[in-house]
Amino acid sequence: MDSKVNYAAVGIFVLVLGAMLIAAILWLAVGAGGKKHMDFYMAIINESVSGLNVDAPVKYLGVNVGKVRTIKLDPANPQQVLLIFAIEQGTPIKQDTEAVLKTQGLTGIAYVELSGGAPNSPPLLAEPGLYPIIRTKPSLSARLENVLTTVLANLDHTAASVNAMFDDENRMAVKKILTNTSIVMDTIAAQKKEINNLISNAAKTADATARAAPHIDPTLARISSAADAVEKMSDETTLASTSARKTLEQVGSGVRQFTGETLPEMDRLLGELKVLSASLRRLSDQTERNPSSLLRGRQPVPLGPGEKTTP
């Protein structure tokens, strides 16, 4: 019995099945039948983006929110790399949001991690004709590289300083110091017995001092009492000296007054007495030479040879 095949039905079935397959593929491609709307942002990276490729994921605190669309150098500054991100609408990109490069596991595949965005921070908006620019910070590898570079530079500087410090002259000085130290230690070791005796004598002296301490306290008390007596005597002497000074000042005032008023009169009296004494001495000499002068008075002196009386 011949079977008849309906080729038309088979063709229709194949076409419907193919259309359904294509529709399923398209549905999966656009994300379960809904197309997501994307916003574009820019980030400026000041380091190498090795390992980062186009369509690399952009994550916000580990959640996929977009992809890297463009990677290119900044024409104005070749030290910078410009990245364009396509990020889903509704992602909270704020003015304090920061982007940093990270690597995924041990594979070295890089992606962009977004973080920050305080609740009270305003949203990041674009200027007319430009993409909104997300701030960036150095990646962990860049920070480690900077730290290692600084450490290596400091190590080089330290090594150079050490080499400069331990030149031939300084090495000889250090060698001499070590030699002298060895000699001193040998000398101390040789004098070990004397040092032990010195320590023993010091211990004996300390014991004797401790035993003599009870007798020292009364002596110190007597010395303190004597010092108090001397201090009291000094105070009394000071008071007596002050009184004597006042008395001398009063006597001195009287003496100064006596001297200022009486001495001139005494000088004049002494002068007159001196003149009177001279006169009496002359009178006595004259009386001895010519006693009759007391009765006749003083006679004129006779003229000498060749002298004449004046009219």
* Per-residue confidence (pLDDT) for residue 262, from 0 to 100: 56
Structural contact between residues 82 and 22, judged by C-beta atoms closer than 8 angstroms:
no
Best CA proximity match to 253, nearest among 245, 264, 241, 265: 245
Please give the residue that has the higher pLDDT: either 68 or 13: 68
Q: Tokens 């303190």 correspond to what residue?
A: 224
The answer for residues whose C-beta is within 8 angstroms of residue 195's C-beta and 6 or more apart is: 188
Q: How confident is the model at residue 130 (pLDDT cuts 50, 70, 90)?
A: confident
Both structure tokens of 305: 């040879």
The answer for residues whose C-beta is within 8 angstroms of residue 140's C-beta and 6 or more apart is: 102
The amino acid that residue 111 corresponds to is: Y
CA–CA separation, 42 and 59 (whole Å): 15
Q: Is the pLDDT of residue 34 over 80?
A: no
Greatest pairwise CA separation for the chain in angstroms: 230
Both structure tokens of 269: 């009296």
Q: How confident is the model at residue 159 (pLDDT cuts 50, 70, 90)?
A: confident
Mean pLDDT confidence for 12-17? 87
Structural contact between residues 85 and 66, judged by C-beta atoms closer than 8 angstroms:
yes
Q: At what angle do helices 192-289 and 168-190 cross, to 10 degrees?
A: 90
Q: Is the pLDDT of residue 251 over 60?
A: no
* Per-residue confidence (pLDDT) for residue 157, from 0 to 100: 84
Q: Tokens 């390992």 correspond to what residue?
A: 51
Least confident of 148-162, 257-271, 285-299: 285-299
Q: Is the pLDDT of residue 158 over 60?
A: yes
Q: What's the DSSP call for residue 77?
A: E
Q: What's the DSSP call for residue 123?
A: B
Helix (H, G, I), strand (E, B) or coil at 35: coil
Both structure tokens of 266: 């005494």
Q: How far is CA 265 from CA 96, 262, 268, 269, 275, in A?
A: 113, 5, 5, 6, 16
Backbone angles phi, psi at 129, to 5 degrees: 80, 5
Rounded to a whole number of angstroms, the CA Rg of the chain reads 65
Q: Is the pLDDT of residue 33 over 90?
A: no
